[in-house]
Amino acid sequence: MRNALVILTALCISSSMIGCNSKSKPVPPVVPQPVQPQPEVKPPVVIPPVVVPIKPIEVVPVPPVAVVTAGWTLKFQSKCAEGVEATECLGFHGLSIQTNGNYQVGPDATSGLTRQGVLTEEEKNAVSAALVSTLAQPTLRAEAHDSIEVASETEDTLTLTRGSAAPSAIVRTGGKDLYYQTLNADEAKALLVAVRKIAEVKAKNFPDGCADGSNALQALISSAQKCAIASDCVYLDSSLDIVAANSSESIVTDNCSKITPLFVGNAESVRVNKVQILKDLETVQGACGNGFIRDNCTEFGAFQLKGTAALCEQGLCKLPAQ
């Protein structure tokens, strides 16, 4: 019996995993857990840098742009041969042409007269067409030389003024020599022909004491009729003296002459210009002679004053309705 206990004790010590109590429950076997598959970790993708070739910048030349100016004036002036009358020398007194087609001949050094008007569309287009290429250049070219077939009897000069820039002689002639600052010689010749053609009409027989004098006098009279308010305006007799509105007099509105009388005007302007108007009127009468009176006029026109004051309408002194 004692030997049996010794053997049992030895078995219990050697077997700690199952215990020494014969009644203990056996330890269940360890079941291995399934291993979840891990997502595959891919190495980062390295994108090599893309080298884009840089093309050299191509410089495209920009064509000249037309110069924008406040406008231009083209002046035609001639130096005539000795013995040639000024009235026969078209450019002697000067002919100025503006962008809008307005022109002026003169002034005459002796009388101070000018001749003003507006070119026809044909005349205006001829000048503009000959100038367009030159005006499109930011600056004028250096002066060049060419020849003309027939020697000029006058020394002509075309001077161009653009905006506030200094005047430039863009065409000059002398004998068979042609000097120009236009785009080319052909344009210089075309411009000279166009302006000479205009001068043959506009500057012919300038100054004409009757026609040019009448136009200048009428312009002076018109300037004396400008007003701001009705109280500026007064009635006037043929001597340019003021006539009271309540005087019951008649004032002459048409005396059959080339000049429309100044019968109503700005009192201050008339006072300032009275002497000049009367002097110019006498000069024009002398220059026109019998032609001062209109052929188709048969009687004077008159306005009877009845106490109504003169009017100021659209900036001009006018008669009230009768």
How do 144-152 and 233-236 pair as beta strands? unpaired
User: Omega into 138 within 30° of 0, i.e. cis?
Assistant: no
Q: What is the pLDDT of residues 199-214, one digit of tens each?
A: 999 998 899 999 999 9
Q: Residue 318: what pLDDT?
A: 97
**β-bridge partners, 271:** none
Q: Residue 66: what pLDDT?
A: 42
- Report how far residue 97's alpha carbon sits from residue 117's, in angstroms, rounded to the nearest whole number: 10
Q: What is the pLDDT of residues 122-178, one digit of tens each?
A: 999 999 999 999 999 999 999 999 998 888 888 999 999 999 899 999 999 998 999
Q: Residue 193: what pLDDT?
A: 94
Tokens of 145: 């030389």
Give the burial string for 119-156 (b: 16+ CB within 10 Å, else e): beeebbebbeebbeebbeeeebeeeeeeeeeeebebbb
User: Omega into 207 within 30° of 0, i.e. cis?
Assistant: yes
Could you tell me the maximum CA-CA distance found in the chain, to the nearest angstrom? Answer: 186
Residue 203 φ/ψ, nearest 5 degrees: -100, 5
Q: Residue 51: what pLDDT?
A: 55
The residues near 215 (Cβ < 8 Å, ≥ 6 apart) are 115, 116
How would you write the pLDDT of the chain (322 residues) with one tens digit per residue?
444 444 444 444 444 444 444 444 555 665 566 656 666 656 665 566 655 555 555 555 444 444 444 599 999 999 987 877 776 788 999 999 999 999 999 999 888 999 999 999 999 999 999 999 999 999 999 999 999 888 888 899 999 999 989 999 999 999 899 999 999 999 999 999 999 999 999 998 899 999 999 999 999 999 999 999 999 999 999 999 999 999 989 999 999 999 999 999 999 999 999 999 999 999 999 999 999 999 999 999 999 999 999 999 999 999 998 7
Give this prediction's pTM.
0.66
